A and B are shown apart, each in its own frame.
Chain A
């Protein structure tokens, strides 16, 4: 393998050449959305220019081409996560859509009154709210795994939550707010020992590490395309074929049926049963190109470079008086959530922006995490493989400048 050449990688991302307020853009909001490399942009253009038609319908050339490219993208995603079969990969509009699909397709059929669903304090609202809706509808109960002061799940407490009413576990692989990498493989094995299926929210994990759903043995795994260099409006839900077969469809419509009469509709086979209507074909093909791009660099090389960035940034910030890192788990992805004494995160965001540095400020759609750390919000720098140590320096310099302004 060639050595990791961040400058050569950066050359693939036209948006990184932008200047903001006359300064080079330092894009550190990758946990919200990553940027798109030229090969993916080109793939989208080629599809729209030479391959577009609706899929699974007509017998003409373009429809057949679009259908085969769409299904090829599915196989690329299958390989990317090491799924056993391509029909285990359902195209969704994103992680939220995937979780809602599981809630409707699995939860509404198989979770009932008095049943318990285990979630964690770290969850993004997208893996809380659908289950609350289900719990309210069915009279089920949500149990929450607590975290320690470092932002790590208390696995002993998780294990104690299991009882005969436990019917489902939803857990995020990597915390978007803190960066904690959760021990999902162990959690899945423990749940399975109790006959309980597990959904993993992989939105923050899939862009940063090798995902092997067979090794994890998760029942469901959801992530979004736009966080791994793909387009918005596309994501996948992986589900074990046997489970997907038993589930009811989430959305009804075209493509998800085999036959329709007003007396009876026969649903299509998986994955089509869950892909009602015309899907975002271009976005799916773009996502296929994105995982090709990432795989060519290598997920292990990406993870290693990002860890270098995180370690360097953590070291720098730890030396700054008045700056506190929120989330200090031993095993972390490249997310640095922090607070600056005397400066509200909103002001941090505006002042860093003025230096060309893009960070996210707010509650990161994880209000229970904010409540746990007793902060209304944090500022979050989240790194991608195309970020550099010099960009970490720009972040640190921006924080210093702001401390002077607010002194």
Chain B
């Protein structure tokens, strides 16, 4: 093939154009984060806007130390645990539901709407409805059951749509072939279906984690006596908006970036090993 045909040059230009767009997009999405990142190193007398009054690690130290309002560290742990549980339940439920929806069954329409409704109900009211209900029954709300319940209701539609898309793309003939060879249902699922839908499950779980971790509206009334991280951040901001909050934001962004880096490394290793 010729090294540089007009066609190839055009394609490269198009790709370059898109890459530039990607870069601009990233700048837009990350934009305020740059300000946040810079300001987290604000001097001790500085505030949450420019100008910078000196550079220091003061706010990072304050993040690590005891905070004036709320307890960031333990609410962070709570949020993480909650998000992990939500992630697993979302992944499992979405997969099971999407598999069921591959066939037609009585009430499939109703169930479909019910799942979607979890998306459309304003968080604050679900919070109120459940909290009042619990009061009538006599159970106090707690972050690891009432908040969990509502979080899953919220994340399930997202995971469900992802899994539905995955199964739509799925070639049923593979499963049929396995069945033809005499495998039972669970083996078919384990050996054929599961490995192929794993990316979808991971995506659904990821959605679940992300949405739960940052969930605010639905959690306000249902967290019980102990705040999750977004609630604690809100509490801290009601006292004072200080660069500590930016240090927290920066830390969590760096953490996410590290996770992605880790993911790429792990994936590359696994992929190479399987060859």
A binds B: no
Q: Which residues does B use to contact A, with CB under 8 Å? A: none
Q: Which residues does A use to contact B, with CB under 8 Å? A: none
